Amino acid sequence: MNSTIPEYRRNATPFLYGQETAAVARVLEAGQYGHTEVTEEFEQKVAAFLGVREAVAVTSGTAAMHTALLAAGIGPGHKVIVPSLTFCATIQAILACGATPRFIEVNPDTLCIEPDAVAEAITPATRAVMPVLFGGRAIDLSSIRSTLDEQGIAVIEDAAHAFGSHSGPARVGNTGDLTCFSFGPVKNLTCGQGGMVIPRTPEEAATVRRLRLLGVVTSQAARQAATSYRVEGFGLRYQLSSINAAIGLTQLPRFKSTEVSRQELWRAYRAELHHTVGVTLVDVDVDHTVPHLCVVRVANREAVFRQMLAAGIAVGVHYPPNHLQPAFAQWRRSLPVTEQIGKEILSLPFHQHMTEDDVRHVASALKRAIGSGR
């Protein structure tokens, strides 16, 4: 974009293919600002792309998780099993329903939850589990599926990182669970801001549609032709504007190139780093994943972080563990694996403007930082 600034100076940034501005101008010129048939076309195209029956668009990934949890009947008194290692949005969505988090550990190699850890955390108050598809990697809970079903525990995936990734032969969204995507600025596909719920049933789809529109059920067309409208339940202002949907609609047909370039970028990092002593690359199962992040674990993270910043490289941390956050202290428990991971993780610059030269530059700076830290 800006050729004077090296791309490794940005940890993440949106990738636009060039048609987005014209698409936004078209909806503005047509007066299609709010939720219109442009939003509905985006829902249908996403559903077709994923191979699912329905997709319901909302304003953000957080709104997707909030409405999905409500559609699954999650509320006060309920416990939701969730990794501590996620973006704070996952936890806020649980709290927004009046439910509370039960934090669990993740596997240090994948940063994803494991079926055993979920099974151990189940209590009579457990009503849902939220796997976070870290870095875009699919999570397989089939080994505890019957336990979850018997106890009426819903699986609500935080797939904010995982748009386009595969789970077995199908894309994420097809597991029969509720799946929540984010189309925020730096996600695999962007609407500027946006999110999507993949519901399990037509009833859940209707509930999310009602929740996103202030509890009003009547269609836009019917409302314009009537003197009243029906408020049928609780609701929020979560519908996706056509302005945002238009951005997503132009990105979607070009997604194959997103998939390929993100995989190539991740493989380039792996080629540079997988023999490096002192650096552990967090595996994303790249052949099945549209990678969202490139995370390494290093022993001396604080020093390495500072040295990388000093070298002009935009490193980050995804994420500071939530059970250590002041807002969530009430649900804090000892999670030694996550606490150790939290001290070691470092996210390298990862976005589609980067070239293999940028990757080599980052990798050699990392090797220097590790070497001088020992």
Ligand X SMILES: *Cc1c(COP(=O)(O)O)cnc(C)c1O
CB under 6 A: which stretch of 154-162, 245-253, 261-269, 366-374 binds ligand X? 154-162
Task: Please report whether residue 248 would count as binding ligand X according to CB under 6 A.
Answer: no
Tokens standing for residue 294: 């490139």
Total residues at interface with ligand X (CB under 6 A): 14
Nearest residue to ligand X, by Cβ distance, number only? 61
Q: What is the DSSP string of 15-30?
A: ---S-HHHHHHHHHHT
Task: Please report whether residue 157 would count as binding ligand X according to CB under 6 A.
Answer: no
CB under 6 A: which stretch of 1-9, 58-66, 72-80, 307-315 binds ligand X? 58-66
User: With contact defined as beta carbons under 8 Å apart, do 350 and 13 qualify?
Assistant: no
Q: Which of 6, 14, 61, 199 binds ligand X (CB under 6 A)?
A: 61
Smallest gap from residue 180 Cβ to ligand X (A): 8
Give the angle subtended at the CA of 232 by the CAs of 229 and 234, to the nearest 5°.
120
User: 156: which strand partners?
Assistant: 178
Q: How far apart are CA 279 and CA 213, in angstroms?
A: 48
Of residues 62 and 126, the one with the C-beta less far from ligand X: 62
52 burial level (CB within 10 Å; 0-12, 13-18, 19+) = middle
Task: Please report whether residue 328 would count as binding ligand X according to CB under 6 A.
Answer: no
Of residues 181 and 369, the one with the C-beta less far from ligand X: 181
Query: Which one-letter amino acid corresponds to residue 152?
Result: G
User: With contact defined as beta carbons under 8 Å apart, do 194 and 60 qualify?
Assistant: yes
Residues within window 183-222 making contact with ligand X, judged by CB under 6 A: 184, 195
In the block, residue with structure tokens 């390298």: 348
CB under 6 A: which stretch of 16-24, 27-35, 54-62, 145-153 binds ligand X? 54-62
Smallest gap from residue 96 Cβ to ligand X (A): 12
Of residues 153 and 160, the one with the C-beta less far from ligand X: 160
Of residues 318 and 361, the one with the C-beta less far from ligand X: 318
Q: Which of 46, 69, 129, 132 binds ligand X (CB under 6 A)?
A: 132
How far, in Å, are 87, 298, 364 from residue 344 at the CA level? Answer: 17, 5, 19
User: With contact defined as beta carbons under 8 Å apart, do 345 and 317 qualify?
Assistant: yes
Smallest gap from residue 266 Cβ to ligand X (A): 17
User: With contact defined as beta carbons under 8 Å apart, do 103 and 337 qualify?
Assistant: no
Query: Catalytic pick from 187, 256, 343, 367?
Result: 187
Report the 10 Å Cβ neighbour count for 169.
Answer: 8
Q: How far apart are CA 214 and CA 231, in angstroms?
A: 7
Q: Which of 13, 39, 60, 241 binds ligand X (CB under 6 A)?
A: 60
Residues within window 63-122 making contact with ligand X, judged by CB under 6 A: 86-87, 89-90
Task: Please report whether residue 160 would count as binding ligand X according to CB under 6 A.
Answer: yes
Task: Please report whether residue 136 would count as binding ligand X according to CB under 6 A.
Answer: no
Of residues 57 and 89, the one with the C-beta less far from ligand X: 89
Report the 10 Å Cβ neighbour count for 174.
Answer: 16
Smallest gap from residue 358 Cβ to ligand X (A): 22
Q: Is 79 a catalytic residue?
A: no
Helices 20-29 and 242-251, interaxial angle, to 10°? 150
User: 102: which strand partners?
Assistant: 81
Residues forming contacts to ligand X in the complex (CB under 6 A) are 60-62, 86-87, 89-90, 132, 158, 160-161, 182, 184, 195
The residues annotated as belonging to the active site are: 187
